[in-house]
Structure formats: structure tokens, C-alpha cells
Amino acid sequence: MEGTAALFFCFSLLCLCSHARVPPGSSSSSNATAGDELALLSFKSMLSSGPSSLLASWSMSSHYCSWPGVVCGRQHPDRVVALRLGSFNLSGRISPFLGNLSFLQKLDLRNNQLVGQIPPELCRLGRLQGLNLSTNFLQASIPGAMGGCTSLKVLDLSSNELEGEIPAEIGALKDMIDLRLHQNDLSGEIPQYLTDLRSLRYLSLYENRLSGAMPPTVGNLTSLQHLDLEGNMLSGAIPSSLGLLPSLSWVNLEDNNLSGSIPDSFWNVSSLRSFSVGNNTLSGVIPPGAFNALRHLEIIIMSTNQFHGYIPASISNASKIQKLSLSSNFFSGTVPLEVGNLGNLHTLQLSANLIEAKEPKDWEFLTALANSSQLEFLLLGSCKLGGALPESLSNLSTSLRYISLSYNAISGSIPRDIENSFSGRIPSTLGNLTKLVGLSLSNNNFTGPIPTEIFNIHTLSTILDVSNNNLEGSIQQEIGNLINLVEFRAASNKLSGQIPSSLGECQLLQNLYLQNNMFSGGIPSLLGQLKGLQIVDLSSNNMSGQIPMFFGTFSTLQYLNISFNSFFGELPTVGIFANASAISIQGNSELCGGIPDLHLPSCSSDRPKKKHKSLVIPIVISLVAASFILALLYMLLTWHKRRKTTTPPTTIMQGHPLISYSQLVKATNCFSATNLLGSGSFGSVYKGELDDQAGESTNLVAVKVLKLQTPGAVKSFIAECEALRNLRHRNLVKIVTACLSIDNNGNDFKAIVYDFMPCGSLEGWLHPDTNGQTERKFLNLLQRVSILLDVAFALDYLHCHGPAPVIHCDLKSSNVLLDADMVAHVGDFGLAKILFEKSSVLQQSMSSMGVRGTIGYAAPEYGAGNMVSTHGDIYSYGILVLEMVTGKRPTDSRFTQELSLREHVELGLHGRLLDVVDIQLSLGLENEHQTVNDFSRKTQINCLISLLRLGVSCSQETPSSRMSTGDIIKELHDIKESLMLEIQNIMKQR
């Protein structure tokens, strides 16, 4: 293919040279058309397309003007004027010989798999008016020669991997109407020369890394209609000149660092339809007459800022508003009655403000909205709403689809603020909301039973959440009417009685949370019909009976918590019951059996006594005699084996003397269960106290005892010893010694002794088991960043700076251990691969094993059988980053083939950040929003966004697209420094 391309290049150059020497006339025209054909064939030659490609018919057997995607002109029928090859499934590079299509006016290569740079030769196409290379994998910077396309009106390079600054030469394209550079990695400031494009109507630069202030000369763009700068790092104030643009219709400045107030000029832009400034640090009030001129406004998003004051009554003048989002600010007072006059309103988001509503008159806006029959989404959680839930909600029966009135009992602080929370009974009239798909009333002070009428809302599907209230009584059998319900939360109430068997009729139920109530009786057998269950939490109730076997048959079940009840009998061992980390059974003293990792007592079987007692004595005597003979044989075999066993070497790794089995027995108190720290596939880890050689002091150690009966355990032992033999790094778990010996029964015994990590594993901090703990573990944002930086240092050493490149192959939160100073150490090298140089090719060492990591963390290419590489560790690290920020395992029940942890985070990065962030961090942000320095809150939000983007970048599907350890460390350094600087500023203020 490369040879063919080279031939086309050379031949085309010859043609061009001959064309330069030919005088005007038919010969020149013939050479020009031949040049077009050669340019197209050259373009094809640089693409990786098979015989089924849409370009398969591009051959000299037919005229090129008839080829798919090729458009020739009317005045010059043999000259190519357009290439329309969007979504042609093309891969490869863009040929620079397209620059020879001198009559080309439109080039459309969008939505393909093109790689490499944008050829600067394209920029000599003086007739080119439209260039669309969006949604490919183009890299490097935008060519500065782009200014040569002087006729260019539409330039779309969005959704690529372009970097660097926006070239100054684009400012010379005076006819530019539409400029789209969004979703790249462009940096630097928005160049002021862009504001010289007086014809520009559409400017889209969102989701880049642009910084600095918006150019104050943006008011020069007198034709501008659409401006989208979302998701950058812009700072400073919004230029007042922007509000003077006469045709401005769409403005999106969300997710930046903008500060100051909204310029008064903005409230006079009569053409404005959409105005979004959410997630900045803007402040100030909305003027009383702000909406008088905004009669065409349809969307206004000012959420997650520092606005205060009242919502003005003039909002009724913006009668076309469809979405009003003012959440996460400091707005106070009541919702004005005039909101009820917004007849087109379908989304009202006022949550996380200081808005009050305690009297019936405070809810009159709902009565007015009922007349419009348009409101679909009502979000008023985390405000200061109290008293009884208004009956007027039921008047929205023809439109309302989702209600969130949660957390009004948590008004910026914990514990509950009972005065500012809904109380009384949940009105039965909510059953009139026949189009409702989601209802969230959690964390209030509701009493009484759950109204049966709610269970008759057949559309209720996404969630029904009444948790953390004071609800009483039983759950009625009518809950079975909610056959489409996916998630039911009724935890932390005073509900009693038995779990209704009709719950088994909710065939789509995935998540069931009934913990911390007073339910009694057994688990209904009809729940066995819920094959799609993913999370079930029945902990801390008064339930009893045996654990049903059907839970073990649910292939989708990821977590089962039945702790602190009175269940008894034998615990199953199949399905989820075979995974000790996926079930919680504490506080059920009568359970027995189960897998060994659960450490339950064996189940006794009361056999009937023998009627013929005369047979007992002979049987006993026979058994004793047989046992004696077998014992003698066993001793002889053991003695023979000991004699044949060669003495183990004094060292297994340089600088690490071996230790005896008896020393480890003493150190671990005979490997007692009280010293057990954890158990994995290939070994169990015990805490031990090891005497030094002089016997004067003891050192705490962790002893990993290999389960030699497990297939692959010996290879794991060898791999770990081989990997750690010469490794020395602050962020790797340090090996103290090893043991190759024989236990008291004559069996082989192998163990590795490490430094003890008193703060346990990272997994234990991210996903703590709170049962029996006096204090809940918590990692703040700075600690999480520091731990991620420690792990990145460890990977950088393993991949680049050790004696030989080492691939860990099993990086996950349970293999990151924390010392007393919360410094992270990477451990468990049982699957590690050592690479060595041979004939310029990196080969795997003999320690390689077939196992390629843990589900959820293992790189996708391993599933296809590809050889392990450092890129695989980077993928696992990316997943670890996302786990650290979201607080969710990659194997969480909510993640399926349709939605992975990475995809969940990507959704959150598009305006729903707090929906994906770990609840411990987001609650901290909400609290800080109310009580602490708000700039600190904004800094933390920016850091969270940077961390999530880092995790997404590291976990790209394509291995070569993932970041290097050096770039990861640099990015984390910047994040940590910004947090440290913020802490210093706060300390100075105090």
C-alpha cells in the first residue's frame, strides 16, 4: 500500500511539473483533469479500506466524476468541486495531494477513523468554502497555513485530538461564518484576532483547555448568533460587550472559572433564546426587571454558582421559558407566584438553595402551573421547605413525570433539620400523578404509612425513594402493581410486617433497599422471580428463616446484604454466595456452612442413633486400628519426603534471608483467625509480630501464605518473588523475607513476608464495611489525589525506571495499601510480568500466567487475547481514578454492557458532575457551599472534573490513546498544587 502511494505521489508530481511547462490550451486542461484523478487515487491509496469499502469502485475503469462521493462542476464538468465522504468508514491518513484539487469547494470527511495530522497542503485550496474533518482521530496542531483558504466559510474540526493553540492565521479568514473546534485538546487563550471575523455567526469551542479571560473585543462579532465555550478553564468576568450583540441567540459558558456578576447588558438581549452559565463562580443578584426584554428566552441555566437574592417576579415576561435551572446557589425567599404563569415550563430546578415554603400560600405557583399542564420535572430538594406536602402537586397529573423533594431535612448540614423539612403524611392524592416515572421524597420527616395509591401509578419506573423518613406500618401488597419499577428505596424508616410477596411481580426491579427498618418474617419465595436484581439490602431488620437458594441463581446480582437479622441454617455456596466480598452476613449467629472465606461454623447433621448397639464397639475398634495403621504409613512417608527434600536456599531474593515456618507460626499466633487480614485467590494474609535477630524488639509484618492447592498459586509465588527481587521504591510494598519450608503435617509451605500497612487497603477506605465499626472511614479530596499520585509514581518506576520493565497486571483498589502516614504502596505482584530486551523486541518472562487481571479493571484488549503491556496497567489505573472519585466499583450493579463506569462518568462530565461524584465528597461540597469559603468549593469542583477527565483519558479503549505515566504525574501534580494553594489561602484568611 505504501509503495502504491509513493508511485502516485511521484507520478502526480511529474504531471504537475509538466503542467507548469505547458501553455494554456486543451493540453493544459487535460493535464489538470488528470491531476484531479491522480489526487483522488492518491487519497484512496493512503486509506485502509477493504474490498467492501465504498471506495472500492474508485478505479480508472470508470470516470472519476462518477465515483461515490465525488462531485464535479457544471461550468467545468471534469473538475472536482466537492468530496462528500462523511461516514464512509474510512481509516488511514489524509493525503496531502488533495491540495491539488484546485477547484475544490467542499471537503467533507466527517465521522470516519482518520488519523495523523491535517495536511497543510489543504490550505492552498483557494476556492475551498467548506472543510469538515470532525469526529475523527486527527492529532497535532491546526496548521497555521489554514489562512491560505481565503474563501473558507465553514470550518469544522471538532471531536478530534487536536492540541496546541488556535493559530493566528484563522483571523485572516474574513468570510468565515461557522467555526467549530469543540471537543479537542486545544489550549491557550481565545485569540483576540477571532473577534475580527465580523461575518462569524456560529462559534463553538466547548470542551477544550482554553484559559484566560474572554476577549473584551468579543462585541466586534456583530453577526454572532451562537457562542458555546462550555467546559474550558476560562476565568475573569463576562465581557459586557457580549450583551450588546444584536443577533445573539445562544450562549453557553458553563463549566468554567468565570467570576463577577452577569453584565446588565445581557438582560436586554431581546434575541436571546438560551443562556447557560452554570458551574462557575458568578455572583450577584438577578435584577428585578431582568426578564422584561427576554421575551424569546427558552432556556436559562445559572446553577452551581454564588447567586443570591430573590427570583424576580418579572420572570413571567419570559413566557417562553421551558427550562429554569437555578439550583445550588443562595437564592432565598419563596418561589414567586409568577413562575406559575410560565405556560411552556417543563423543567423547574431550584434545589440546593435557601428557598422557603412553609405555608399553603407559598405553593400557589404550583396551582397556577397546573393550568398550563406542561411541567414534567420538579426538583426542589435540599431547600428549606417544611410543613405538609402541598395537595396542589396532584393537580399536575396531566404532565408531571419526575418529582424530587429529597433532603429538605438536611439543609446544608447534618443532622436533620426537622423544622425545615416536610412532615405529616405523604398525601394519597399523589396517586393522581398518572404519568409519574420517578418520585423521590427521601430525607424528610414524613410519618404514617406509604400511601397505597402511590403503588397504583403504573408508569412509576425509574425510582421510588421514600428512605430516611419516619414512615410506619407495612408495605402493602399493591406494590406489585409497579411492574416497571427499577429501583425501590424505603431504608431507614420504621416500617414493619413482612416484605410483601407481591414485590416479586415487579419484574424489572434491579435495586432494593429496605435496610434499617423493623421487617420480620422470612424472605418471600416469589422474589425468586426477580431475575434482574443487582443490589439487595435487607440489613438491620428483624427478619428470620433460611436464606433462599434462588439468590445464588441470579446472574446479575452483585451485592446482597442480609446482616444483622436472625437468619439461620445453611448458607448456599453458589452464585453470589461464592464471592465473600459481594455478600454481608454479619449479625446472624445461627448461620452455618457457606464458603471458607466467610468463616462460618460447619452445619451439624443430627444422625439417628443405631438400634443395634452391639455393632458400635466392633466398628469403633476397627476404625481405631485402621487409623493407627494409616498414621504409621503417613509418618513413614513424611520422613521419606523430608529426607528427599533438598534444603531450601538461604535466600530467595538478593538481600532477603529466608525465615522458618516455626517463626511464622509464632509470629501469627498459629495463623489464628483473629490475625487474618484478608484472603484472595492464591493466598491468605495474616498480621504478625516478627522478632528481630537479637530478640530485642518486634516488627509488625503481613504474611502472605500461599494456597498451594489452588492452580497457579506456585506460579503466582514465583512471579511475585521474581518481580520484587530487585525492585526498590517508596510506593511499592516492601518485602521483608520469604519462607520455603514444610509445615507440621509434612506439606510444602510457601509464604512471603511484607511490611505491615496499618491503614489497610484503599478498597477498605473507598468501600468500608461499616458494620461493627465505631468510626466510618473517609478520604478527603486532597488525600485521594495524593494516593493517586503515589500509585502513579509506582507505575512510572515499574514501567520506566526499574532494573527491567515490569507490568503489574492486577492494579486495583484492594492491591493499594496505606501506611501509617497514608502513603500508598502498590502490592500483590502475583500476576506481574517482567519484560526483557531481546532482538529489539520486548518479551515476557517465564513468570507470565494466563490470568490477566480482575474483571472491571483488566484492559479490554486482554479479553481479545492480546499480550500484556504497560498500556494495560494504565487502563487499570484509569479505572482506579474513576473509582476514587465516584466511590463506585467498576463492577457495581448499575454498570452493565450498556453502561460502564467510564460511560457513567462521561455522562456526568456533561453537566451532571455531582451525580457521579462519591456521595462523601459531594455532601462535603454541599456543606461547604453553605458554610465555608466558596472559592475553595469551586477549586474542588475543578479538581474533580480534572480527575474524572484523567480517568477517562487513561481508560480509553485504544491502548495507544492512553496517557503515559509521565503525563499522569504532571497532571496530578497540577491538581494537588491547586488544592494546596487553596488550603494556604484559607489558612491565611483565618
pTM metric for this prediction: 0.60
Alpha-carbon span 467 to 481, nearest angstrom: 20
Question: Residue 703 in contact with residue 664, Cβ under 8 Å?
Answer: yes
pLDDT tens-digit map of 378-397: 888 888 887 788 777 887 77
State the span(s) of the chain assigned CATH 3.30.200.20.
651-755
Instruction: Please say if the pLDDT value at position 968 is more than 70.
Output: yes
> What's the sign of the alpha-carbon dihedral 518, 520, 526, 527?
positive
pLDDT tens-digit map of 289-307: 999 999 999 999 999 899 9
Residue 371: CB atoms within 10 Å: 12
Instruction: State residue 595's pLDDT score.
Output: 92
Alpha-carbon span 603 to 333, nearest angstrom: 63
With vertex at residue 325, the alpha carbon angle to CA 780 and CA 467, rounded to the nearest 5 degrees, is: 55
User: How many residues appear in the chain?
Assistant: 990
Task: Put residue 239 in one of left, alpha, beta given phi > 0 → left and psi -120 to 50 → alpha.
Answer: beta
Q: Which CATH architecture has domain 476-489+498-513+520-602?
A: Alpha-Beta Horseshoe (3.80)
Tell me the range of 170-184, 829-843, 884-898 where mean pLDDT is highest. 170-184
Q: What percent of the chain has pLDDT over 90?
A: 42
CA distances from 115 to 161, 182, 208, 229, 986 (A): 9, 17, 19, 26, 46
Alpha-carbon span 426 to 612, nearest angstrom: 68
* Mean pLDDT, range 357-369, rounded to an integer: 81
Question: Residue 440 in contact with residue 404, Cβ under 8 Å?
Answer: yes
Cα-Cα-Cα-Cα torsion 428, 430, 432, 433, nearest 10 degrees, comes to -160
Instruction: Please say if the pLDDT value at position 865 is more than 90.
Output: no
More confident residue, 14 or 439: 439
What band does 545 get if pLDDT is binned at 50, 70 and 90?
A: very high
Among the listed ranges 360-369, 384-393, 647-656, which one has the minimum average pLDDT value? 647-656
Please report where in the chains the cell 468463616 appears, as a residue: 599
Question: Residue 137 in contact with residue 158, Cβ under 8 Å?
Answer: no
Instruction: Please say if the pLDDT value at position 493 is more than 90.
Output: yes
pLDDT tens-digit map of 562-606: 999 999 999 999 999 999 888 999 899 899 999 998 889 998 754
pLDDT tens-digit map of 405-438: 887 644 333 333 444 568 889 989 899 888 898 9
Q: Which residues contact 875 (CB under 8 A, 6 or more apart)?
A: 857, 858, 859, 860, 954, 955, 956, 959, 962
Residue 346: CB atoms within 10 Å: 17
With vertex at residue 662, the alpha carbon angle to CA 656 and CA 666, rounded to the nearest 5 degrees, is: 100
Q: Side-chain half-sphere of 361: how many Cα atoms within 13 Å?
A: 1
State the span(s) of the chain assigned CATH 3.80.10.10.
2-132, 476-489+498-513+520-602
* Mean pLDDT, range 154-168, rounded to an integer: 93
Cα-Cα-Cα-Cα torsion 559, 565, 567, 568, nearest 10 degrees, comes to 120
Question: Residue 232 in contact with residue 208, Cβ under 8 Å?
Answer: yes
Nearest residue to 151 via CA among 116, 127, 133, 182: 127
Looking at the domain that runs over 763-989, which CATH code has it been given?
1.10.510.10
Q: Are strands 202-204 and 178-180 parallel, antiparallel or unpaired?
A: parallel
More confident residue, 516 or 633: 516
Nearest residue to 457 via CA among 427, 435, 489, 428: 435
540-561 as b/e: b if 16+ CB within 10 A = bbebeeebeebbbebeebbbbb
Question: Residue 797 in contact with residue 721, Cβ under 8 Å?
Answer: no
* Mean pLDDT, range 502-518, rounded to an integer: 93
Element (H, E) at 913: helix 913-916
Catalytic amino acids?
A: 810
> What's the sign of the alpha-carbon dihedral 799, 805, 811, 817?
negative
What band does 94 get if pLDDT is binned at 50, 70 and 90?
A: very high
Instruction: State residue 224's pLDDT score.
Output: 95
CA distances from 828 to 195, 791, 810 (A): 56, 13, 8
Instruction: State residue 656's pLDDT score.
Output: 46
State the span(s) of the chain assigned CATH 1.10.510.10.
763-989
Residue 863: CB atoms within 10 Å: 11
First to last CA, the chain: 68
Please report where in the chains the cell 523486541 appears, as a residue: 841
Alpha-carbon span 185 to 967, nearest angstrom: 14
Instruction: Please say if the pLDDT value at position 481 is more than 90.
Output: yes
What band does 258 get if pLDDT is binned at 50, 70 and 90?
A: very high
More confident residue, 383 or 884: 884
Q: Are strands 698-706 and 748-755 parallel, antiparallel or unpaired?
A: antiparallel
pLDDT tens-digit map of 895-929: 766 678 888 888 778 767 777 888 777 665 544 44
Instruction: State residue 722's pLDDT score.
Output: 64
Max alpha carbon distance in the chain (Å)?
Answer: 125
Looking at residue 854, the DSSP 8-state letter turns out to be -
Q: Which amino acid is at 161?
A: E
Instruction: State residue 32's pLDDT score.
Output: 60
Q: Which residues contact 79 (CB under 8 A, 6 or more apart)?
A: 32, 33, 36, 72, 73, 102, 103
Question: Residue 785 in contact with residue 943, Cβ under 8 Å?
Answer: yes
Alpha-carbon span 823 to 816, nearest angstrom: 10
Instruction: State residue 494's pLDDT score.
Output: 95
What band does 70 get if pLDDT is binned at 50, 70 and 90?
A: very high
Q: Are strands 698-706 and 841-844 parallel, antiparallel or unpaired?
A: unpaired
> What's the sign of the alpha-carbon dihedral 73, 77, 79, 80?
positive
CA distances from 598 to 400, 602, 707, 716 (A): 47, 11, 16, 23
> What's the sign of the alpha-carbon dihedral 480, 485, 486, 489?
negative
pLDDT tens-digit map of 670-689: 888 888 887 776 778 888 88
Q: Which residues contact 922 (CB under 8 A, 6 or more apart)?
A: 914
More confident residue, 346 or 866: 346
Among the listed ranges 252-256, 499-503, 920-924, which one has the minimum average pLDDT value? 920-924
More confident residue, 773 or 701: 701
With vertex at residue 934, the alpha carbon angle to CA 932 and CA 939, rounded to the nearest 5 degrees, is: 115
The secondary structure of 332-375 as a DSSP string is EE---GGGGG-TT--EEE--SSEEEE-SGGGGHHHHHHHTT---
Helices (H), 707-775: 713-724, 762-766
* Residues linked to residue 815 through DSSP beta bridges, in sequence order: none
Question: Residue 230 in contact with residue 209, Cβ under 8 Å?
Answer: no
Instruction: State residue 835's pLDDT score.
Output: 61
pLDDT tens-digit map of 1-56: 444 444 444 444 434 433 333 333 334 445 566 789 999 999 999 987 544 467 88
Instruction: State residue 464's pLDDT score.
Output: 94
Q: What is the mean pLDDT of the chain?
A: 81
Tell which CATH classification among 3.30.56.10, 2.40.30.10, 2.20.25.90, 3.80.10.10 matches the domain 2-132: 3.80.10.10
What band does 844 get if pLDDT is binned at 50, 70 and 90?
A: very low
Nearest residue to 278 via CA among 248, 308, 257: 257
Tell me the range of 29-43, 813-827, 847-861 where mean pLDDT is highest. 813-827
* Residues linked to residue 213 through DSSP beta bridges, in sequence order: 235
Residue 989: CB atoms within 10 Å: 9
Looking at the domain that runs over 651-755, which CATH code has it been given?
3.30.200.20
Nearest residue to 202 via CA among 219, 233, 181: 181
Residue 889: CB atoms within 10 Å: 21
Among the listed ranges 258-272, 823-837, 858-872, 914-928, which one has the minimum average pLDDT value? 914-928
